[in-house]
């Protein structure tokens, strides 16, 4: 069992703003691969890839090499000055995408990449209404937060005008109490009818994650996305895919939208693109970029097109392809999911196991028949996992239950998966007693 850093945490909180509730009593000193270490030598197996960013494991050797050589390179430049890493990353990224996605901009966070997409969608359409999903998470900046329908909205005043919401296709808990464990798109049809009634006729875009993480690990299925695109086209809504967590192999493809016969108008990337470094991107078509340019598009930040972070994006693609991590995500994801299903058979508190590749969800309930979410038990299990040496992340939002978001590095081994499952098993048993 871990010797947690309780006293050090108390001292730290005297000078830190608590921005995510309470901090956990583990003070990290270093990290490598699938593990995090503190200065006492305690080891924690990381089932969240940091903040779902270290998709290639912590401190990948290729990233360390870039860090070691960075002193001989440009790290930061004026926004209007380009560099080789930025140009090469734009070429590499566009080469991996359909022809209609060929114009890139590089920033730091997912919030920023979504802000750019929203800003360009509004400029090119002339509209201002943006549609998002219930429970979604697209960022903490003012625009992205306005179309984020999770627990982060209350207490901060009005959202942006034109913020509209449709229900997420949550099969385990049908939002319109219609289907049971098999979505038939009725919630989508009803949702679109409802926003039509709310709209003032100024549609701009719809923003969606291929797998809604904060909403409870809800996967958008191919037939659903096909119909979603049709409904967007009927209304003149441009489609934004936010692939913060789902890109670069996480769901078994380089980009999750490759699982659909649908190409978005805007693709936003973050988290996984930098592999743990602050790098994000927004990609759109030549036509949209040209029209926005004619209309005077501006998006200047202190660190747009920074060469240092762009270097990590280039390395990310090298790692992804050289180590065949998308294929490993499929194989190890299937193995991990089967282990979780076997845990579900042993523990009544596991109501549902879902997700794709190495982005999986486990929902904790009081009762399987009535599916009553058990927030308190979920938190006890989460805390006990950390004590036993496993870092887990749980969603605690009313209406979405208590859902573990399981996203280990794509480099994880079966032995590490087995270790994580054994710890989770014990944590559940200890928390139920």
Which entry of 245, 258, 265, 384 is annotated as an active-site residue? 245
Which entry of 137, 229, 243, 306 is annotated as an active-site residue? 137
Active site residue 405: yes
Q: Using CA atoms, how far apart are residues 51 and 275, in angstroms rounded to an integer?
A: 10
E runs forming strands in 13-88: 28-32, 35-38, 43-46
Sheet holding 103-107: strands in order across?
103-107, 280-284, 266-269, 238-242, 203-208, 129-133, 163-166
Residue with the two structure tokens 């042993």: 346
Which entry of 173, 250, 337, 405 is annotated as an active-site residue? 405
**Helix (H, G, I), strand (E, B), or coil: what is residue 412?**
coil
Residue with the two structure tokens 């001292």: 11
Which entry of 112, 219, 242, 289 is annotated as an active-site residue? 242
The strand pair at 203-208 and 129-133 is best described as: parallel
DSSP class per residue in 72-139:
GS-----TT---HHHHHHHHHHHHTS-TT--EEEEESSHHHHHHHHHHHHHHHHS--EEEEEBT----
160: nearest Cα among 186, 182, 178, 139: 139
94: nearest Cα among 254, 242, 207, 321: 254
Active site residue 245: yes
Q: Using CA atoms, how far apart are residues 291 and 122, in angstroms rounded to an integer?
A: 12
- Is 269 in contact with 244 (CB distance < 8 Å)? yes
- Is 382 in contact with 391 (CB distance < 8 Å)? no
Active site residue 345: no
Q: Using CA atoms, how far apart are residues 380 and 384, in angstroms rounded to an integer?
A: 6
- Helices 186-198 and 222-235 cross at an angle (nearest 10°) of 20
Which entry of 209, 289, 306, 352 is annotated as an active-site residue? 209
Active site residue 196: no
Q: Using CA atoms, how far apart are residues 155 and 66, in angstroms rounded to an integer?
A: 42
The alpha-carbon radius of gyration of the chain (Å, integer) is: 21
Residue 203 backbone phi and psi in degrees, to 5:
-65, 140
Which entry of 271, 337, 354, 384 is annotated as an active-site residue? 271
Q: Which residues are marked as active site? A: 137, 209, 242, 245, 271, 405
């Amino acid at each position: 069992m871990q010797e947690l850093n309780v006293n050090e945490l108390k001292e730290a909180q005297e000078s830190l703003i608590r921005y995510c509730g309470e901090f956990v009593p583990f003070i990290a000193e270093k990290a490598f691969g699938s593990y995090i270490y503190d200065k006492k030598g305690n080891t924690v197996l990381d089932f969240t890839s940091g903040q779902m960013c270290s998709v290639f494991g912590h401190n990948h050797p290729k990233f360390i090499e870039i860090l070691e050589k960075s002193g001989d390179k440009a790290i930061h430049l004026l926004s209007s000055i380009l560099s080789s890493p930025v140009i090469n990353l734009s070429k590499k990224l566009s080469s991996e995408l359909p022809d209609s996605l060929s114009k890139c901009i590089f920033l730091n966070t997912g919030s920023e990449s979504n802000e750019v997409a929203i800003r360009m969608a509004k400029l090119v359409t002339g509209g201002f209404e943006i549609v998002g999903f219930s429970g979604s998470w697209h960022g903490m900046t003012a625009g992205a937060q306005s179309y984020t329908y999770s627990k982060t909205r209350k207490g901060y005043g009005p959202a942006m005008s034109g913020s509209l919401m449709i229900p997420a296709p949550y099969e385990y808990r049908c939002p319109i109490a219609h289907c049971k464990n098999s979505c038939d798109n009725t919630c989508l049809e009803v949702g679109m009818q409802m926003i039509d009634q709310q709209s003032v006729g100024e549609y701009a875009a719809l923003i969606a994650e291929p797998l809604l993480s904060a909403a409870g690990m809800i996967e958008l299925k191919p037939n659903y996305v096909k119909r979603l695109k049709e409904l967007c086209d009927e209304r003149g809504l441009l489609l934004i895919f936010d692939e913060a967590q789902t890109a670069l192999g996480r769901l078994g493809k380089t980009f999750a939208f490759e699982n659909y016969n649908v190409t978005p108008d805007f693709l936003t990337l973050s988290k996984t693109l930098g592999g743990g470094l602050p790098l994000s991107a927004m990609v759109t078509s030549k036509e949209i970029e040209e029209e926005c340019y004619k209309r005077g598009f501006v998006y200047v930040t202190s660190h747009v097109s920074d060469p240092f972070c762009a270097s990590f994006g280039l390395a990310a693609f090298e790692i992804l392809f050289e180590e065949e991590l998308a294929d490993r995500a499929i194989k190890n994801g299937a193995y991990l999911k089967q282990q979780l299903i076997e845990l579900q058979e042993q523990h009544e508190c596991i109501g549902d196991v879902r997700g794709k590749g190495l982005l999986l969800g486990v929902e904790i309930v009081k009762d399987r028949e009535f599916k009553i979410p058990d927030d308190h038990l979920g938190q006890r299990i989460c805390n006990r996992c950390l004590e036993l040496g496993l870092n887990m992340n749980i969603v605690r939002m009313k209406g979405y239950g208590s859902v573990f978001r399981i996203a280990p590095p794509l480099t994880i081994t079966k032995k590490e998966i087995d270790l994580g499952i054994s710890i989770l098993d014990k944590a559940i048993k200890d928390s139920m007693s």
